[in-house]
A = this chain, B = another copy of it.
Amino acid sequence: METKPGKEKPLKYVMLAGIYNEPRSGYELTKWLQVVGQHCWSVEHSSVYPALRELEKEGLISSERLPGTRGPERSIYSVTDSGREKLTVWVANASPRPAIKDEQILRVLCFDLLPRETALRQIAEVRAHHQSQLEFFLARQAALTEKQLGPLLVTRRGVLAEQAYVAWCDEVSEIIARRPA
């Protein structure tokens, strides 16, 4: 047995996956988790740095100190051979069902509490947000080739998910609009 046969924190594997995809600093990893990772696993930087230290202590990643091109020095992490092995085992496992927290859907559940105008305005704003996310993922998709299999598939997920959200907003608007006030 190696220290503990128990389960490991998903966040560490999430980060390992991000670093495997491309060597990154903690800062870059945080940014990545906040933009690309928005539809899979978004966290704050305060969770990232301690996890990086754990991963390094376990020998799953290694760091290299580099002078920042535009900014101060940072540590760039790469996945070690041992990390790659652990990651491979993890990737082959089954995932728990996605966990989603989306208050907006619950607001829509209660839309009969609002005057029609208010509801329509709210959903229009939500639509605008997801439309701009969609455009972001479309732009990213256009910049990728089939060579970059993983990033391309993840980006496709972003595109499809945002398209579905925008389509739902449109349905909500339409149904609300043609309703008796």
Query: Can you identify 5 A-B contacts, CB atoms within 8 angstroms?
Result: A20-B113, A21-B109, A40-B102, A109-B151, A157-B168
Q: B101 near A114 (CB under 8 angstroms)? A: no
Q: A103 near B95 (CB under 8 angstroms)? A: yes
Q: A105 near B164 (CB under 8 angstroms)? A: no
Q: Given A40-B100, A102-B40, A153–B108 Cβ distance below 8 Å? A: yes
- With A and B bound together, what is the CA distance between A95 and B18 in angstroms? 28
Interface residues of A in 96-139 (CB under 8 A from B): 96-114, 118, 122, 125-126, 129
Is A171 interfacial (CB-CB < 8 Å)?
yes
Copy number in the complex reads 2
Q: A98 near B95 (CB under 8 angstroms)? A: no
Which bracket fits the contact residues of A?
35 or more
Q: B129 near A156 (CB under 8 angstroms)? A: no
Q: Quick one: which of A13, A122, A149 has the most chain B CB within 10 A?
A: A149
Is A179 interfacial (CB-CB < 8 Å)?
yes
Interface string of A7-25 (1 = CB under 8 A from B): 0001001100110110000
Q: Given A98-B100, A101-B98, A109–B168 Cβ distance below 8 Å? A: no
Is A92 interfacial (CB-CB < 8 Å)?
yes
B-chain residues with CB within 8 Å of residue A110 when the two chains form the complex: 17, 20-21, 87-88, 91, 150
Is A181 interfacial (CB-CB < 8 Å)?
no
3 nearest interchain CB pairs? A164-B164, A98-B102, A40-B105
Is A64 interfacial (CB-CB < 8 Å)?
no
Q: B103 near A101 (CB under 8 angstroms)? A: no
B-chain residues with CB within 8 Å of residue A151 when the two chains form the complex: 109
Residue on B with the closest CB to A21?
B109
Q: B112 near A149 (CB under 8 angstroms)? A: yes
Q: Given A149-B179, A160-B164, A164-B161, A91–B114 Cβ distance below 8 Å? A: yes
